Structure formats: structure tokens, C-alpha cells
Structure 1
Amino acid sequence: MQETRRRILESLSDAPVSGPALADELDVSRAAVWKHIEALREQGFEIDSRDNGYVLLGTPEFGGAGVEYGLSAPFEIEYHDSIGSTNDRARELAAAGESNVAVLADEQTGGRGRLDREFSSPSGGIWISLVCRPDIPPAQAPIYTLAAAVATTEALRDVGVDAGIKWPNDVLVDGRKLVGILTEMEGEADRVSWIVVGIGINANIDADAVPETATTIRELVGDVDRSELTRTLIERFEELRSDPESVLPAWCNAATTLGQRVRVQTSNGDVVGEAVDIEFPGTLVVATDDGDERVSAGDCEHLRPT
């Protein structure tokens, strides 16, 4: 958000402020203040003009300005009403040298998941991709995927959704998928150039607009403030990526996989046993009949106890 407009909103958040007082505070002309106020109104902020000054009555329901207002994490928001894929756009920005950008959309027309599977992304959801440039080796990149799953799960729990994580990053409620996460990376042998973490949340969407194996926030608890939920997600993700050692304990607190009998489909065959632990940067430890096996990637299925 443009800095002058951010400062205007901060000033109006406490009490009415007159145009001349804003002009003096910001060291700009009264005409400039009026232009910024009009621009904020166009972005969806409800600002009333009264005898004692301007009053902030409401903020946008969703969008770049709505999410950036009050955001404490260092991410710039690039918002689209509709886009093919936020991950594709984030990859373009990453290739152009950008960092700390969140590509956000109300709708995706070409959303995709792992292995290029189609990912339903109708209007009313939260479709966001975070562009990061961490100073880590590629082998540690999975910690960003786990951080995204934790941040999303905790943000959902704040709005009353009893979500949990199935290894490594499926966010589910009662076995039905609520969130999809797709992480993409480019780098060299010893360092990461960039990571794009894509997160898709079935938010204010009717249940019949998603697959039968999925659910939506609207179905579970009713509609939520998407801007507030997105801010919480980004801020929690920022905390976790700033302290990678905190990710695994937080993941364990949110996970439903540990202690479960699982089948993990890997490129080398199925691993079946009890999920007993997770190791940095996201390796699942499975106790099998032949001893512990460590799985770094695969499709995990929870099995009925034998």
C-alpha cells in the first residue's frame, strides 16, 4: 500500500481527523489529502466526511488493500479478481527478481495441485502464492511447505474451524480437504534461488462447488472475513519462516498423522506402518514390520488400525 495512504488510515483508525490536520501531519497539501482519500474510497474503504473530519467506517471485504491494511508482515500484496494461477504469476515475479510478494486472487481459472492435478478454485476462496528468497540449501526447502500448512491451520482454528494436517501438508477437517498447498522452487546444488508457496483455501464457497472429498469454511462455520484470515496466515507464516526450528513442534501440534497407521506411496513402493515421528526438514518416520523407514516425499493415506 502507498505509504501516505497507509498513514492516513492509521490516523483515522482512532478518531475523526480533519483535512487540514492530516495535511499538517503528512506534510502535504489539503488537495493531496483529498485525492488520497478518494483513492482509498475507490479501493473499498468506507470513509465519511463529517464536520469534525474524516471518519473510517469500514474496510474492504477482500482484495489487496483490504489485506495490506493492518498487515504486520513484510509482504506486498498483488491482487487479482481472477487469474489463471497465482503460482504461475508468482513464478514470473520470482524469475524477475522479486521477493516478499503475495499474489492473491478471488478466483483461479487454471489452478493446479501436485503432479499438475486440476485444483478447483472458484470465486469466494483464498488463493495465494508467496514469493520467498530464503538463504537455505535446497534440501531444507520442505520446511517452507510445513510452515505454510501450520500457518494456515492455525489461522483456520482462530475462526473456529477444527482443522488438522495430514503429512506433509494436506489441511483437512474430518477427513475432507479444506486447503491445498503447492510449493515450487528453483535453485542450484548448494542454494535456493527462490521458493513459491501456493496456498488454496475453500473459504466462502458453497459445498457443491468443490469435490465431494473436500469441504469449505462456509459449510463448516459460515462465511468469514477473508482479509483478516489472509493477514493472520501471512503473519504466522512470516514468524515460522523466520524461526525454522519452531516449525516442527508447531507442525506436530497441528498434525493428525502421528500415531496413525499409514500407507505412504513413494517412487520406490509403498511404506506401511505407524507414523511415529517427523524429522527436519519434514521427513516422516514410519515404524514398519522391518524397522523404521524415513520418507521424504509421497502420498500419505491414513489406514484403519489393525
Structure 2
Amino acid sequence: MEAGAGNLNESVLFLPRVGSTNAWAKEHLDRFGPIGAVYTTNQTAGRGRLGRAWADAPGQALFCTVVLKTPLAQPATLPLFASLAVADTLHARYGVQCRIKWPNDLLLNGKKIAGILCESAGDGHALLVGVGVNLGQPQAFFEAQGLPHGASLACQGVDVDLDRDPEWLAQYLTDFGFDRALYTYEVEGFAPYRERYKAACVNLGRRVTFDGGSGVAGDIDAEGRLVVRTDGGVQKVFTGEVSVRGIYGAV
């Protein structure tokens, strides 16, 4: 069923249950115009960055994939732009100020509440932004999954309406988080958002460990790379896992 549409070229589709919204979007790209989305609260086979499984809690989280079929000036920075879009959406709904763990994990009070996975589809003619937001799971859920640093908005004291919020969030994320912001981002890339991203990024000023080294993260460059000062000089990190000393016990 369609949850609503902002214009003729946009659809936001709701699925009661699906293996993965990213996989469904890849198989149904013809359902979308230049921008659209598909969402569910019951995703049974989702995954996060680096192939990690995303545990399901039916009815207690939002799983949404935004589909973009518009050329981007700087597509490699989409994960960073997407993290700001999700943070803006959560602020609009709940008034919370999320921090960002480079490149695109969202934290609230030092706990991960949202993750993002960007992929290409349709032989590169489309980009998918998969978003998972923990809405109402109890803390025991994260402990049972071996995720002591995860939490839901409800766990953080946010008043969540599990009946109404998923549709509102999916609509707002598509219409305002992406669609309107794309008028700038698709042409100018990451540059207009760089300073705001840096202000929200928890990595900066902290010691980080990445594939092949460690050092102090000092900047996010114009290409969206994490600039790290190591004993051997400056390294610019763009892929792989980065852990951060001092947030949720990471070292």
C-alpha cells in the first residue's frame, strides 16, 4: 500500500513485512521515480555495513530505503549526507540532537540508535540509502543480541508512537531529508554540509583505530574522508571500520 506521495515523481511505499527493504527496492526499481522510498517495521533479513545482520524486532523499529535516480556531483559522500538527513528527521520529530560516528552511525547519549547502508542498483543508475532506526525496543533486546552499545529512542527517554511515527519518519525523510536537500547536494556535493557534519561528528579530536593504523582524527576533508594524524604522518580514511576511544567504551 502507498503511505503517501509528495509529488507525481515520488512514492513512499509501506510493506507489512519484507526480508530487506534494500533488496526489495533493487527488485522493484521501476516503482520509483527520481526519488522515492519503501519502508517497513518488520524486516527479517536486513544487514548493515560490512555485511553485519540487523536484528529484527517486529513493530519496534523503522527500516526504510530511499531510492535516488538522480545524478549526484559527489556520490561517494552520500553516506555522510544521508546521516545528516536522518539526524534532521529525528530532530524534527522528537527534538533530539544526534551525534554522528563517521561515516554514518547516529548516536544519542552515546548509544547507537540508527545505522545507514548505501548501495548502488540498476547497473549504477540508482542509489539506495537503507536506514534502520531503533524506535521502541527495550534495552533487554540489545543485550540479548550482544549489542551493549545499541539503544532505542524509547530507551533514551524519547516519547515514541509506534503506530504513527514510522510513516511520519519515512515521509519526512523522503520529502525533506532528501528531496528538498537534493536541490543543493546533487549539484554542489558535500561542501555545503561539511561544517555541519564536522560539528556533529564524534570522531574529531579523539583517538581512533582504523584498518592499518591509529591516530587522532582531526578533520573531515572535502571528499568526506576522515583525516587522521598518525605517528607516521597524515592518513585519509574512506573505507573500513573505525573505532573511537571514549564513546560507549570503544578503544
Secondary structure, aligned partner of 1:216: coil
Q: Which residue of 2 aligns with 1:232?
A: 172
User: Are 1:291 and 2:226 counterparts?
Assistant: no
Paired letter, 1:145: P
Distance 1:149 1:118, change over 3 A: same
Q: Which residue of 2 aligns with 1:87?
A: 22
Aligned equivalent of 1:302, options 235, 244, 247: 244
Q: Which residue of 1 aligns with 2:159?
A: 222
User: Are 1:259 and 2:205 counterparts?
Assistant: yes
Paired letter, 1:258: L
Q: Which residue of 2 aligns with 1:248?
A: 194
Instruction: Provide the rounded CA distance (Å) in 2 between the counterparts of 1:213 and 1:282.
Output: 25
Instruction: Provide the rounded CA distance (Å) in 2 between the counterparts of 1:163 and 1:217.
Output: 11
Which stretches of structure 1, 4 residues or longer, exceed 4 Å deviation after superposition?
71-74
In structure 2, stretches of 5+ residues that fail to align are: 186-190
Task: Give the CA deviation at 1:202.
Answer: 0.6
Q: Is the 2:91–2:97 Cα contact (8 Å) retained in structure 1?
A: yes
Q: Is the 1:127–1:198 Cα contact (8 Å) retained in structure 2?
A: yes
Q: Which residue of 2 aligns with 1:153?
A: 87
Q: Which has the higher helix share?
A: 1
RMSD (Å) for aligned C-alpha atoms = 2.6
User: Are 1:103 and 2:34 counterparts?
Assistant: no
**Identical aligned residues as a percent:** 29
Secondary structure, aligned partner of 1:83: coil
Post-superposition Cα deviations, 1:101-132, rounded to whole Å, max 9, x if no partner, equal 20110110111112321101322211100111
TM-score normalized by the length of structure 2: 0.81
Secondary structure, aligned partner of 2:54: coil
Instruction: Provide the rounded CA distance (Å) in 2 between the counterparts of 1:277 and 1:264.
Output: 15
Task: Give the CA deviation at 1:133.
Answer: 1.7
Post-superposition Cα deviations, 1:237-282, rounded to whole Å, max 9, x if no partner, equal 22333322323233223221122221122xxx23x11111112331
Distance 1:187 1:142, change over 3 A: farther
Paired letter, 1:246: P
Q: Which residue of 1 aligns with 2:64?
A: 128
Q: How many residues align?
A: 231
Task: Give the CA deviation at 1:143.
Answer: 1.9
Larger-gyration structure (1/2): 1
Task: Give the CA deviation at 1:200.
Answer: 0.4
In structure 1, stretches of 5+ residues that fail to align are: 1-62
TM-score normalized by the length of structure 1: 0.68
Q: Is the 1:153–1:254 Cα contact (8 Å) retained in structure 2?
A: no
Paired letter, 1:295: V
